[in-house]
Amino acid sequence: MAFKKYNDQPIADVLKELVAKNNWKSKLYQNKVKQIWVLKMGPSISGYTREIKLRGKKLFISIGSAPLRQELSYSKTKIIDLINEGLGEEYVTDVIIR
């Protein structure tokens, strides 16, 4: 008795396909972005961070310190690069700092 093999795809490819079909990428990236933020920015900046949200491909960051908020607004391109590097792809396109 011969069976056809349908599982000739690597599990990583199957999971990527499942995530893409169900639009789960932004939900999965939400927690990963928070982890990347804490890791890349360190405890001092993370301590002033009130909220990090990923909506579509925009990253919204709430900062509790006005001077720090101003300083980070000058570094939006660098923040995008750091987050995308941590995600392993060019996903985040814009950063809104409030």
| Domains of the chain, each with CATH number or no CATH | 24-97 (3.30.70.2210)
Q: How confident is the model at residue 5 (pLDDT cuts 50, 70, 90)?
A: low
pLDDT digits (tens, 9 = 90+) for 17-76: 888 788 788 788 999 999 999 999 999 999 999 999 999 899 999 999 999 999 999 999
Q: How confident is the model at residue 7 (pLDDT cuts 50, 70, 90)?
A: low
d(CA 27, CA 10): 23
The DSSP code for 90 is S
| E strand or H helix at 19 | helix 11-21
What is the value of pTM for the model shown? 0.80
